[in-house]
Copies of this chain bind each other. A is one copy, B any other.
């Protein structure tokens, strides 16, 4: 059984919005052994939606068609009209959906009640998919030998509905296949080509595993997958091979993020962290505190954008700033020490740099960054020259700072 995903929304074909529903649904379906054959994105036009339903149903391999978007209360939202026209099922008011809409709209905005009541008009014979977050119920229809599922386009509502309603219903209907075994490795500091050259030969004996490389600005994810179930611990063996080949460059596996990996190491070592951020403006602290429970090891961050703040809070001597400039290894090292002392933390981590697009010079062009660590084991500092937009340079600085901290913690 294969699936087709149809996304409805004029904003998705006008360049106004990135789609996150398609990849999410494809991933959820893959996890229950259903492959996606095609994703089609069309605007809020009845003819286009019906056309997409028609080609989806014409595909012999496809048994499941999932449509997202166009279930809202405004007059743009015409997916249900298109579904009714395509399948021939008349629209009727579903009491459960009507009650749901009324209960939600009551506490919000009376004027719009009438518009929202349209959302309870759903094709006859539909199995309802509850919306736990908003007014738009989804539903499942049978059409000839295909199953058609309709869900709202708002990503949070769609994702919640997929997880709590759609996927269980597909399982109940016996549509779930055997999920592939997968294992992901998050790699930092090696390019896709370098990783490939390190692991291709050692992985040759694992013929039944597929290797995928997913590069992004901040990491390369290597993903192994086995379609045939994991006979005889093959995945474990391959995992050991990859860990050996890539070693410290694997900063985390599966769902673990860089900031979680760093947090786990700090907790394990019983150490605390203080930050001094200049060019990242708070991004490193933001990432560290994306981890629940980070208050156990994260004491404080100082975002010292001005020289005065660097001097006042981190005791960076004005003479140091004058002699070497705020963007220098000397100032970075002093900032790391200053943060550590000020917070009484085990480790101080500091960054200073030129994120651009203005502020560069011949000696220190945009992208020049220094990252420093201070701890009982001594201080270290590293210089970088990043390329990219202001946001890229901030993101690369934060990732490199976290990775430097991670490697130092492993070494301790």
Q: Which of A's residues lie within 8 Å of B, judged by CB?
A: 10-20, 22-30, 35-43, 48, 52, 55, 73-74, 108-109, 111-112, 115, 154, 156, 191-194, 196-197, 212-215, 217, 221, 223, 275, 277, 279-286, 288-290, 292-295, 298-306, 308-309, 312-313, 342-344, 355-358, 388, 390-391, 394
A356/B299 contact (C-beta < 8 A), A26-B14, A214-B11 known: no
Residues in B whose Cβ lies below 8 Å from that of A281: 282, 285-286, 288-290, 294, 298, 301
Q: Is the CB of B299 within 8 A of A309?
A: yes
A18/B20 contact (C-beta < 8 A), A109-B194, A300-B309, A308-B299 known: yes
Q: How far is the CA of A14 from the CA of B357 in the complex (A)?
A: 36
Q: How far is the CA of A72 from the CA of B73 in the complex (A)?
A: 44
Q: How far is the CA of A206 from the CA of B386 in the complex (A)?
A: 48
**What are the 8 closest A-B residue pairs judged by CB atoms, nearest first?**
A15-B27, A281-B289, A282-B285, A282-B282, A301-B303, A15-B26, A39-B41, A300-B309
A305/B295 contact (C-beta < 8 A), A10-B212, A290-B394 known: yes
Q: Is the CB of B19 within 8 A of A19?
A: yes
Q: Is the CB of A212 within 8 A of B295?
A: no
Q: How far is the CA of A214 from the CA of B390 in the complex (A)?
A: 26
The smallest C-beta distance from A24 to any residue of chain B, in angstroms, reads 7
Q: Is the CB of B37 within 8 A of A39?
A: no
Q: Is the CB of B306 within 8 A of A295?
A: yes
The smallest C-beta distance from A283 to any residue of chain B, in angstroms, reads 4
The smallest C-beta distance from A20 to any residue of chain B, in angstroms, reads 6
The smallest C-beta distance from A187 to any residue of chain B, in angstroms, reads 15
Q: A108-B191, A294-B305 are in contact. List 6 more A-B contacts (CB 8 A).
A: A16-B27, A16-B223, A115-B193, A286-B394, A300-B305, A301-B301
Residues in B whose Cβ lies below 8 Å from that of A217: 156
Q: Is the CB of B11 within 8 A of A212?
A: yes
Q: How far is the CA of A284 from the CA of B312 in the complex (A)?
A: 21
Q: Is the CB of A36 within 8 A of B55?
A: no
Contact among B26, B52, B55, B109 for A193, CB-based, below 8 A? B109
Residues in B whose Cβ lies below 8 Å from that of A55: 55
Q: How far is the CA of A288 from the CA of B356 in the complex (A)?
A: 14
Residues in B whose Cβ lies below 8 Å from that of A37: 13, 42-43, 48
Q: Is the CB of B12 within 8 A of A19?
A: no
Residues in B whose Cβ lies below 8 Å from that of A344: 308
The smallest C-beta distance from A134 to any residue of chain B, in angstroms, reads 11
Q: Is the CB of B27 within 8 A of A39?
A: no
A48/B41 contact (C-beta < 8 A), A13-B26, A26-B13 known: no
Q: How far is the CA of A6 from the CA of B35 in the complex (A)?
A: 19
Q: How far is the CA of A358 from the CA of B295 in the complex (A)?
A: 11
- Would you list 15 pairs from A and B whose C-beta atoms are within 8 A, ordered by A residue? A13-B35, A14-B26, A16-B23, A16-B214, A18-B18, A18-B20, A19-B22, A38-B48, A38-B52, A39-B41, A73-B193, A112-B193, A299-B308, A300-B303, A301-B301
